[in-house]
């Protein structure tokens, strides 16, 4: 077991680059995104940052070297995720959506498919979007449940050499693409005769007849993330676009959602860190008429010190989880689930307490901390809700015969 808590000089440089990217391309957009009432207009403001992410190699950094990308270690990914999330977690959620869609392609696709589907994401210009279209308006937590459960409502049937896909999808970023004509790549989860399967739909397969944008969701936080509901009405793609075997959908989906669970821990850290900075500055600068900065009142200091300790705890857990997932450690899944559940619920609690340090001034859209609370509220319910999906996965691990509670710590 190798334990090193110190990022290397290269990792510090990577963190600095990510911080500079966030300051250059994301920070100037934050206020306007929050102020823009129309959810579609708000999310479109962030398109320029997506263009920069492709140009500056951020997207390539999410693609493994073996497929032409520059993806580094789990800690590399963690450092970049936190820096971007501390400024605009909405943007991280959108990048995470791309990773969720591409991961099953790496894991289950054949070489020809991988090259074909990845091409727009290896380019150094454009605003390519890949979407993992799993979630549906009628529910997703039971997508892999056997009959008589309804499971997924979207279906694909074979017609000659084509799959024909019909159903409604919701929540994934960019489901209808930037302009409503479809994303560059949609990996759609659907029922096929052999079970739940994943099928790749490329941009050229969408037409104005087979893709209908039904709604742009008006989320309270993460407003730079374009979230829509669409109807797929007989989208026709070649048989060869099946990703992995027929019926392999659940396995590929759960594998894709493992790394993303660990990454949510880092989104939680970014949001807590941003809220902490606001509350700490307020507490050290403001007296609120009491003659001394409010940090000198013991209850205020206690909230701040507790928050800092919990941020450190979630950061280290999430580092370890991402490292375990990317290095293929069998403990990766359990650690990633803890990072997701513990990280997301800690973020809601910590940001809410920091909000109270600021007091009534915080209950004003013009004061920034409320926006961090609205962002944090998404973390327990997205990327697989903690109650409907993630805690059930943990329960499955805990009830596996021979499970060793010390294994994830490497202390068996």
Q: Classify 398 in phi/psi space as left (phi over 0), alpha (psi -120 to 50) or beta.
A: alpha
Say whether residue 392 binds ligand FAD (CB under 6 A): yes
In the bound state, the residue with its beta carbon closest to ligand FAD is: 385
Tell which one of 45, 71, 141, 316 touches ligand FAD (CB under 6 A): 141
Q: Which helix (H) or strand (E) holds 53?
A: helix 47-55
Say whether residue 215 binds ligand FAD (CB under 6 A): no
Is-contact 390 140, C-beta < 8 A? Answer: no
Q: Which C-beta is closer to ligand FAD: that of 97 or that of 343?
A: 97
Tell which one of 378, 379, 393, 408 touches ligand FAD (CB under 6 A): 378
Say whether residue 135 binds ligand FAD (CB under 6 A): yes
Say whether residue 335 binds ligand FAD (CB under 6 A): no
Tell which one of 53, 93, 307, 369 touches ligand FAD (CB under 6 A): 93
Of the candidate spans 28-36, 139-147, 179-187, 235-243, the one that interacts with ligand FAD by CB under 6 A turns out to be 139-147
Say whether residue 384 binds ligand FAD (CB under 6 A): yes
Say whether residue 113 binds ligand FAD (CB under 6 A): no
Say whether residue 139 binds ligand FAD (CB under 6 A): yes
Of the candidate spans 67-75, 106-114, 171-179, 310-318, the one that interacts with ligand FAD by CB under 6 A turns out to be 171-179
Of the candidate spans 156-164, 313-321, 347-355, 384-392, the one that interacts with ligand FAD by CB under 6 A turns out to be 384-392
Q: Which C-beta is closer to ligand FAD: that of 134 or that of 321?
A: 134
Residue 89 CB, shortest distance to ligand FAD, in Å, is 9
Counting other chains too, the contacts that 309-315 makes at CB distance below 8 Å and 24 or more residues apart are: 310/272, 310/346, 310/350, 311/269, 311/272, 311/273, 311/276, 311/350, 313/346, 314/265, 314/268, 314/269, 314/272, 314/339, 314/342, 314/343, 314/346, 314/347, 315/82, 315/265, 315/266, 315/269
Tell which one of 103, 127, 140, 318 touches ligand FAD (CB under 6 A): 140
Question: What distance in Å separates the CA atoms of residue 92 and residue 266, rounded to the nearest whole number?
Answer: 10
Q: Which two tokens stand for residue 51?
A: 């263009």
Cβ-based burial of 119 (10 A; exposed 0-12, middle 13-18, buried ≥19): middle
Q: Which C-beta is closer to ligand FAD: that of 75 or that of 172?
A: 172
Say whether residue 355 binds ligand FAD (CB under 6 A): no
Say whether residue 172 binds ligand FAD (CB under 6 A): yes
Which residue carries 């708000």 as its tokens? Answer: 42
Is-contact 81 263, C-beta < 8 A? Answer: yes
Question: What distance in Å separates the CA atoms of residue 212 and residue 203, rounded to the nearest whole number?
Answer: 14
Question: What distance in Å separates the CA atoms of residue 83 and residue 89, rounded to the nearest whole number?
Answer: 9
Say whether residue 374 binds ligand FAD (CB under 6 A): no
Question: How far apart, in Å, are the Cα atoms of 257 and each of 11, 108, 182, 240?
Answer: 25, 14, 23, 24
Tell which one of 132, 196, 274, 324 touches ligand FAD (CB under 6 A): 132
Do the strands 155-159 and 162-173 form a parallel or antiparallel pair, or are they unpaired? antiparallel
Residues that bind ligand FAD (CB under 6 A): 93, 97, 100, 132-135, 139-142, 171-173, 222, 225, 227, 378, 381-385, 387-389, 392
């Amino acid at each position: 077991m190798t334990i090193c808590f110190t990022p290397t000089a290269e990792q510090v440089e990577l963190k600095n680059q990510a911080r500079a990217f966030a300051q250059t391309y994301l920070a100037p957009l934050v206020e306007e995104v929050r102020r823009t009432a129309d959810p579609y207009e708000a999310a479109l403001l962030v398109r320029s940052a997506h263009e920069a992410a492709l140009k500056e190699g951020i997207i390539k950094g999410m693609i493994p070297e073996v497929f032409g990308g520059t993806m580094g270690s789990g800690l590399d990914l963690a450092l970049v995720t936190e820096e971007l999330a501390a400024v605009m977690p909405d943007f991280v959620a959108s990048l995470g959506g791309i990773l969720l869609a591409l991961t099953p392609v790496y894991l289950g696709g054949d070489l020809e498919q991988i090259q074909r589907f990845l091409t727009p994401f290896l380019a150094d210009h454009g605003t390519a979007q890949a979407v993992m279209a799993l979630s549906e308006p009628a529910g997703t937590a039971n997508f892999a449940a056997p009959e008589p459960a309804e499971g997924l409502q979207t279906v694909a049937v074979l017609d000659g050499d084509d799959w024909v896909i019909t159903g409604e999808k919701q929540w994934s970023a960019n489901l209808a693409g930037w302009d409503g004509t479809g994303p560059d790549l949609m990996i759609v989860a659907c029922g096929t005769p052999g079970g739940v399967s994943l099928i790749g739909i490329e941009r050229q397969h969408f037409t104005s007849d087979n893709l209908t944008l039904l709604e742009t969701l008006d989320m309270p936080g993460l407003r730079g993330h374009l979230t829509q509901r669409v109807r797929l009405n007989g989208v026709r793609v070649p048989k060869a676009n099946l990703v992995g075997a027929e019926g392999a959908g659940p396995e590929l989906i759960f594998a894709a959602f493992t790394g993303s669970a660990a990454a949510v821990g880092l989104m939680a850290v970014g949001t807590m860190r941003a809220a902490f900075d606001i509350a700490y500055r307020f507490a050290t600068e403001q007296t609120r008429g009491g003659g001394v900065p409010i940090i000198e009142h013991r209850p205020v200091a206690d909230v701040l010190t507790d928050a800092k300790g919990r941020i450190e705890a979630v950061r280290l857990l999430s580092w370890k989880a991402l490292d375990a997932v990317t290095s293929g450690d069998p403990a990766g899944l359990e650690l990633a689930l803890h990072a997701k559940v513990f990280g997301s619920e800690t973020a809601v609690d910590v940001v809410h307490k920091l909000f109270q340090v600021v007091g009534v001034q915080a209950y004003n859209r013009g004061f920034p901390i409320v926006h961090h609370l609205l962002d944090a509220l998404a973390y327990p319910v997205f990327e697989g809700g903690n109650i409907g999906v993630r805690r059930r996965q943990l329960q499955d691990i805990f009830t596996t015969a021979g499970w060793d509670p010390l294994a994830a710590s490497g202390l068996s």
